[in-house]
Amino acid sequence: MNPLTGLYGAAISLRNSLFYRRLLHSLRLERPVVSVGNLSAGGTGKTPFVIALGELLKARGIPFDVLSRGYRRKTRGVLVVDPKGAAADFGDEPLLIARRLGVPVIVGERRYDAGRVAEQKFQSQLHILDDGFQHRSLARYFDIVLMTAGDFSDRLLPSGRLREPLSSLQRADVIVVPEGVASENPALRGKPVWRMRREIELDSVPSSPLVFCGIARPEQFFAQVRASGVAPAAEVVYRDHHAYDQRDVERLLAMRRELDAGGFLATEKDMINLGALKSQLGPLTTATLNLTLERSADLVDAILARIAERKPRS
């Protein structure tokens, strides 16, 4: 095992202990916070889950906003995401959430500051905290943790992908797992378990497309593409949150000519990171990732019940 893993684990354990003993404090917003997070470093489906949860709240007529760090943006401070803006200003995932949900999305290094701005500007009943499980400096009413099947046998960073040990799941109010993960897993004992199904939606896919992506777990995306009946001419991987430039586009065009590919296929996140450059890659199809939650009506009821239970009495 990498010796740095032991040091990392000790640091995480100390930090969590300081919060448990209230030597480190969590700031509380006026309106309830529902956190969506995970234990591993990316690729568990937090963004599609936030979108799916947001759609459920909208169907109930519950106004909400989303608080996010705005990972890899080039700006600083608290900003309200402009859906017509660029990933460099707001981050690719907050921009995707804003475009899909049409609700206020606020980015800020300190999510508490982002929440304060949200409460000044918008009439939301609650905040969804994106990627919030480790952001313990902001108090929350409900903690949702997403897991992949591989997380249960993984190791802490940097030997593996886990940001916290499995024991940290005890902080969660509910754990979300993919279909097929056994609920008898010891790490899930005593916790409500929700199940999700991830599917991609494809429309007018060119023949033998060049499939590319810059996401956390590209192998999952490629497997879904092949399972949908698409035979890629090639699969090209970029770093997660990759900001495409003209050289990338020229390389992709050269590969298409060399392989005689019929066009291109990429994720929604890649479309955002391509920006105006995507006009050079026609025909280009977007793979939309949709997440379906089992017993979705019950899930919203559980969140609202826990918020009512934990909300301070006036």
Query: Are 134 and 215 part of one and the same domain?
Result: no
What is the residue type of 59? A
* Domain co-membership, 26 together with 150: yes
- Asked if 245 and 274 touch (Cβ cutoff 8 Å), the reply is no
Q: Are residues 161 and 256 in the same domain?
A: no
79 and 145 housed in the same domain? yes
Could you tell me if 219 and 109 lie in one domain?
no
Q: Is residue 288 part of a domain?
A: no
| Mutual angle of helices 296-310 and 46-59, in 10-degree steps | 80
Q: Is residue 302 part of a domain?
A: yes
Q: Is 138 in the same domain as 234?
A: no
Query: What are the tens digits of pLDDT across the range 177-194?
Result: 998 887 778 888 889 999
Residues 257-292 have pLDDT tens digits of 999 999 999 999 999 999 999 999 989 999 999 999
80 with 219, same domain: the answer is no
Does a structural domain hold residue 287? no
At 314 the pLDDT is 53
pLDDT digits (tens, 9 = 90+) for 110-124: 999 999 999 999 999
pTM equals 0.95
pLDDT digits (tens, 9 = 90+) for 147-177: 999 999 999 999 999 999 999 999 999 999 9
Sequence-ordered alpha helix ranges (H) in 45-187: 46-59, 87-90, 92-101, 111-121
Kindly state whether residue 95 falls inside one of the protein's structural domains: yes
Residues in the chain: 314
Beta bridge partner(s), residue 211: 235, 265
pLDDT of residue 226: 97
Q: Please indicate, yes or no, whether residues 48 and 182 belong to a single structural domain of this protein.
A: yes
Are 225 and 287 in contact by the 8 Å Cβ rule? The answer is yes
Half-sphere CA count of 185, side-chain side, radius 13 A: 22
- Our count of domains for the chain comes to 2
Mean pLDDT score of the chain, rounded to an integer? 95
Note whether 52 and 128 are same-domain residues.
yes
Range of the domain at 174: 3-197+293-310
Residue 186: exposure state from Cβ atoms within 10 A (0-12, 13-18, ≥19): exposed
Residue 178 lies in a domain: yes
In a domain, 7, yes or no: yes
Same domain, 46 and 117: yes
CB 24 within 8 A of CB 15: yes
Alpha helices, DSSP H, located in 162-295: 218-227, 246-259, 268-274
pLDDT of residue 215: 96
Q: Is residue 76 part of a domain?
A: yes
Whether residue 150 is found in the same domain as residue 234: no
Spatial separation of the C-alpha atoms in residues 66 and 128, rounded to whole Å: 5
pLDDT digits (tens, 9 = 90+) for 210-265: 999 999 999 999 999 999 999 999 999 999 999 999 999 999 999 999 999 999 99
Half-sphere exposure of 156 (CA within 13 A, CB side): 18
Q: Are residues 145 and 213 in the same domain?
A: no
122 to each of 31, 58, 104, 118, 119, how far by Cα in Å? 11, 15, 8, 6, 6
Q: Is residue 115 part of a domain?
A: yes
